[in-house]
Amino acid sequence: MAPTRVLPIVFGVDAVNRNAALDWAIDEAARRGVPLQLVHAVLPVTHHVRGVEETAHHKALRQLGDEALDKAMARSHERQPDLEVTTFITDANPAQALVRQSAHAGLMVLGSRRLGRLAEVLSAASTAVPVSANAACPVVVVPDTERTVEEPPYLVVGVDGSPSADAALDHALEAAASRGASVRAVWAWQRPLLGFLDEQAALESCHRQLHEATAGRSAAYRDVPLSHTVLRGHPVEALAKAAEHALAVVVGRRGREGFTGMRLGSVPHGLLHRAVCPVATVPPSAYEDR
């Protein structure tokens, strides 16, 4: 049988130091025993800049990129001396370059710039949403915010019975197993605005569906404690609150069609702006062959 291909963890490096996200990527690569690839993309020069001005501008951007990669490399070796680390710099739109690299990665890690929704759309340097929406591998976005992680550690995963949620659950269980953590599976339920509804019966149905959705997959991770919770409220708010002190919140992504925001889905999109912990977005294909 052919040997299993070792896929690196890819970290998107920009000119701003995002040490919380970089440290997360370094430690995760060391935990998995895989290489860490540091990637930086230099935005192409705009069409109206030409000649000497173009050359000088581009050289300055490349120099900043090289310096950022050198700093990230030094921090990686300082934090995990035995970790294999490589660097890659390219002339491209950052999001597009990272999406291309995701085809050869086991995990993509990004820092969060916490851009507003309008700035996120207009900024050519924005990566969190477009990469999370289009990457071939799971993407973890780590915010640069100080917070307390509860002990013993746990991850939160959003479950709704969909194939994308199944992939998210697989990712959460695997991540918890490697960390000695537990998983809290959360099903969010919103009361309809119109019409009569037996709320108690609806909640009981959610509990039943949640247990059914997790039963088969949790059997493969019997050493990972798994709890089930149905929360009232909007899924973004419910998951963000449940994960305030979690190692991460894990959610599935929509399919392969649609515009970037629609393709990502409203819940992971919302969590990228709302959650204070790392947000892991898992494409539906990530675990389909397992």
First vs last Cα of the chain: how many Å apart?
17
- Residue 177 belongs to domain spanning: 154-282
Q: Is the peptide bond before 152 cis (omega within 30 degrees of 0)?
A: yes
Which residue reads 């640069």 in tokens?
A: 144
pLDDT of residue 284 exceeding 60: yes
145: exposed, middle or buried (Cβ count in 10 Å: 0-12, 13-18, 19+): exposed
pLDDT of residue 262 exceeding 50: no
Instruction: Specify if 149 maps to a domain.
Output: no
- How does strand 36-42 pair with strand 9-12? parallel
Domain end marker among 115, 142, 169: 142
| 115/168 same-domain check | no
| 98/168 same-domain check | no
Instruction: Specify if 269 maps to a domain.
Output: yes
Q: CATH number, domain at 20?
A: 3.40.50.620
| 158/235 same-domain check | yes
Using one digit for the tens of pLDDT, what is the confidence trace for 208-245?
999 999 998 888 899 999 999 999 999 999 999 999 99
Structural domain total, the chain = 2
| 48/118 same-domain check | yes
Domain end marker among 142, 175, 202: 142
| 204/111 same-domain check | no
| 231/112 same-domain check | no
Domain end marker among 113, 142, 171: 142
Instruction: Specify if 1 maps to a domain.
Output: no
Instruction: Specify if 227 maps to a domain.
Output: yes
| 70/184 same-domain check | no
Is the Cβ–Cβ distance between 154 and 246 less than 8 Å? yes
Which residue reads 């990566």 in tokens?
A: 127
Instruction: Specify if 148 maps to a domain.
Output: no
- Residues 6 or more apart whose Cβ sits within 8 Å of residue 111: 12, 14, 16, 18, 20, 21, 22, 141, 142, 143, 144
| 159/99 same-domain check | no
Instruction: Specify if 206 maps to a domain.
Output: yes
| 91/158 same-domain check | no
Nearest to 128 by CA among 145, 115, 144: 115
Using one digit for the tens of pLDDT, what is the confidence trace for 141-167?
999 888 899 999 999 999 999 989 999
Instruction: Specify if 28 maps to a domain.
Output: yes
| 115/226 same-domain check | no
- Residues 6 or more apart whose Cβ sits within 8 Å of residue 14: 40, 68, 94, 111, 125, 127
Lowest-confidence pick of 69-83, 106-120, 166-180: 106-120
| 22/57 same-domain check | yes
CA–CA dist 234, 245 (Å, integer): 19
- Report the percent of the chain where pLDDT is more than 70: 85
Instruction: Specify if 219 maps to a domain.
Output: yes
Is the Cβ–Cβ distance between 158 and 210 less than 8 Å? no
What is the overall mean pLDDT for the chain? 87
What are the residues facing 42 on neighbouring strands? 91
| 16/127 same-domain check | yes
